Structure 1
Amino acid sequence: MNVLAIGAHPDDLEILCGGTLALYAAAGHRVTMAVATNGNVGHPTLGRDEIAALRHAEQQASADLIGAELVWMDFDDEWLFNDRPTRERFIDVIRGCGPDVVFAHSPTDYHPDHRAAGQLTVDARIPSAVRLVETTLPAAERIPHVFLMDNVGGIDFVPEVHVDVTGVMATKERILLCHRSQDAWLRAIYDGMDYVSFMHEHAGARGAEAGVAFAESFREVRTYPPTGSIELLPGTVRRAGEAAP
């Protein structure tokens, strides 16, 4: 199975679905991590080009750790918009991967780049398989099934399903720690925020809802045409509100 996750910034995927991607990769599925923006404003001292190059290298190291492919879309950080050229680029990312499953940001997330990336992904889903929607790549063979990722911190997101990532939390931590420059930036701008502790708290809170130690949470994009179900998710999946055995 081909799995595509599209994040707005370097590190978003590691926080919101890194464990799930690690489970897919460990099961032998093809995993692609696509990152829309290059993080080129997120550093207390470096210039834009230096930051972008550093963030790219860190994202590549993260993808390499789980054997994922990386698509670096290289839009400017903080300036992602749902216009025609950008949507065409998202369509080509889907066409180039040929995914069965796509993970996207929720439209209720806190960051405008997150919201834009999520809407772009959902909007590109059907056109990616339409022959006469002409971009640089030919039409995809199928319309993929889309899951919305949890919001950062779980704010304003109502989970539909949880994936038990307890067994891959060490991997989730390792791929997150590849983003050393983001760790430094968050500590600088958010008054000493501990990146890894934040991730553990988030996954732990969702795990408590699911009756496991750590979980990642999702919602299905249910729209016409139906293309799949939660059975496409890896590992132990529990619907929100379902009692633990």
Structure 2
Amino acid sequence: MAHPDDAEILCGGVLIRLGQLGWDVHIATAANGDCGSENLGREEIAAIRKQEGIAAAHSIGGTYHTLAEPDVNVVFDQATNRKAIDLFRQINPTLVITHPREDYMLDHEQTHLLARSAAFSFPIPNASSLPRLPNAHIPHLYYADPVEGKDPYTGQMVTPTTVIDISAQIDQKAEMLACHASQRDWLRAHHGMDEYLEAMKRFSAHRGSLIGVDYAEAFRQHLGHAFPENDLLAELLQ
């Protein structure tokens, strides 16, 4: 994902469920979160947000990584693409969730390109100088909802291919998101309520209404050439 807390908001429930099935869970961000404060300097807030990302991932038995690009400066260029491919080479993912191609800010859209490129490229022998595991292959690739579920160019809600029930995981998802205290505290002071968590729950409830459950997360599967086409999320998390 682009920033610390994006994964927790958009796919935290699914990550919890996969972890419960015994999967190794990795949360990676392209950016370091250095614009995530009204009062702190870039280095200070970036260090805080890295620790929050580590704590959130650890809370579900996962591992946090970051490419450490500066906020509002994530770009799909040769150097950052190389960093993403190298990270994928080390993790050797089977299933990847990233941002959709069209979202409310360009950090998300550029992260989409980086993740899509790395997913396709990391198994190619000459794509990275890092060792390639023998079982490396193009993973299943899914796009989480854009923020608020809206296509930013039309204002219409996007239509998912896969909707996963996270009703039993919603409290743990909230605890995971609450690890990002720097963002939660700022919104709590600004709104006079715990808007950070409430907004997440409202949208999860909205997606839950699509399948008649209390809370859900929605995704669109990438079905381009060479990518697996069976809906692995639906098969694993019916």
TM-score (norm 2): 0.91
Residue 70 of structure 1 and its aligned partner are, at CA, apart by: 1.2
Q: What are the equivalent positions in structure 2 for 1:126-137 lying under 5 Å apart?
A: 126-133=120-127, 135-137=128-130
Alpha-carbon distance in structure 2 between the residues aligned to 1:226 and 1:172: 29
State the Cα RMSD in Å. Answer: 1.9
CA contact (8 A) 1:20 1:163 kept: yes
Aligned residues: 230
CA contact (8 A) 1:25 1:31 kept: yes
Range with bigger deviation, 50-59 or 68-77:
68-77
CA 1:32–1:233 in structure 2 vs 1: closer, same or farther (change >3 Å)?
A: farther
Whichever residue aligns with residue 141 of structure 2, its letter is: V
CA 1:43–1:226 in structure 2 vs 1: closer, same or farther (change >3 Å)?
A: closer
Residue of structure 1 equivalent to 2:98:
104
Q: For each residue in 1:144-200, what CA deviation from the matched residue of structure 2 results, as whole angstroms up to 9, or x when unmatched? A: 110001111111222111010001001100000000101234457789781111001
Residue of structure 1 equivalent to 2:198:
197
CA contact (8 A) 2:207 2:215 kept: yes
Residue of structure 1 equivalent to 2:219:
218
Whichever residue aligns with residue 22 of structure 2, its letter is: G
Residue 77 of structure 1 and its aligned partner are, at CA, apart by: 0.9
CA 1:197–1:68 in structure 2 vs 1: closer, same or farther (change >3 Å)?
A: same
Residue of structure 2 equivalent to 1:241:
none
CA 1:174–1:192 in structure 2 vs 1: closer, same or farther (change >3 Å)?
A: closer
3-state SS of the aligned residue for 2:114? Answer: helix
Q: 2:111 aligns with which of 110, 113, 117?
A: 117
Residue 44 of structure 1 and its aligned partner are, at CA, apart by: 1.3
Whichever residue aligns with residue 122 of structure 1, its letter is: R
CA contact (8 A) 1:163 1:234 kept: no
2:84 paired with 1:83:
no
Alpha-carbon distance in structure 1 between the residues aligned to 2:191 and 2:159: 25
Whichever residue aligns with residue 97 of structure 2, its letter is: F
Q: What are the equivalent positions in structure 2 for 1:47-86 lying under 5 Å apart?
A: 47-86=41-80
Residue of structure 1 equivalent to 2:142:
147
CA contact (8 A) 2:223 2:229 kept: no
3-state SS of the aligned residue for 2:59? Answer: helix
Q: What are the equivalent positions in structure 2 for 1:151-166 lying under 5 Å apart?
A: 151-156=146-151, 157-166=158-167
CA contact (8 A) 1:43 1:184 kept: no
Residue of structure 1 equivalent to 2:154:
none
Mark the runs of 5 or more structure 1 residues left unpaired by the alignment: 1-6, 238-245
CA contact (8 A) 2:162 2:233 kept: no
Identity of paired residues, percent?
Answer: 34
CA 1:107–1:155 in structure 2 vs 1: closer, same or farther (change >3 Å)?
A: same
